[in-house]
Amino acid sequence: MREEKITADRLAAFSDAVFAVIVTIMVLELKAPDQPAFSALGPLWPTAISYVVSYLFIAIIWINHHYLLRFAGPPTLRLIWINFAHLFMVSLLPFATAWIARTRLASSSVVFYAGLFVCIDIAYNMTAMLVAFVAPRLGFGLICCALVLHLRPEVRSSRP
């Protein structure tokens, strides 16, 4: 029985390490402006907004991942592979975040970003991906709104 706990803890520790690397890669993509004035930050708004949204999404994913692993029991090979697939999709967030920032929320980058969110969390972001084809900023706004739904991973109990 103790061996199962260690294995579950190792799965959680590995996942935590992957999340930490993902956030590190994302923050390394942030480039400071060359000018020593606050006005130089204005043109960086796509970078700032995409970073904040991606960081929030990763935080929410990690919180939910942590919460769900408490109920997983001894990890099976299937669970481990599902976890790897999930972490793979999350690992693409730094790329998608950088693309959105560099293209200033262009249609293709927002479609890819929303599509990645869909792969990670299909139930909440399908609409954002479809909207982003014709209205990329609205699609990005829908992504932001969907994050609010995940702020608390606990199962909500019905009222008496």
Q: Which residues does 97 contact at the CB level (< 8 Å), separation at least 6? A: 26, 29, 50, 51, 54, 113
Per-residue pLDDT tens for 101-133? 999 999 999 999 999 988 887 644 557 776 788
Q: Which residues contact 101 (CB under 8 A, 6 or more apart)?
A: 29, 46, 47, 50, 51
Model pLDDT, residue 96: 96
Q: Specify if 160 maps to a domain.
A: no
Q: How many domains does the chain divide into?
A: 1
**What was the pLDDT predicted at 143?**
77
- Is 37 among the domain residues? no
Look up the pTM and report it.
Answer: 0.78
**66 or 154, which is more confident?**
66
The answer to whether residue 7 sits within a structural domain is yes
In a domain, 159, yes or no: no
154 found inside a domain: no
pLDDT at 33 over 60: yes
Kindly state whether residue 115 falls inside one of the protein's structural domains: yes
Residue 36 lies in a domain: no
Residue 157 lies in a domain: no
Q: What is the pLDDT of residues 15-25, one digit of tens each?
A: 999 999 999 99
Which residue range forms the structural domain that includes residue 93?
Answer: 2-31+42-148
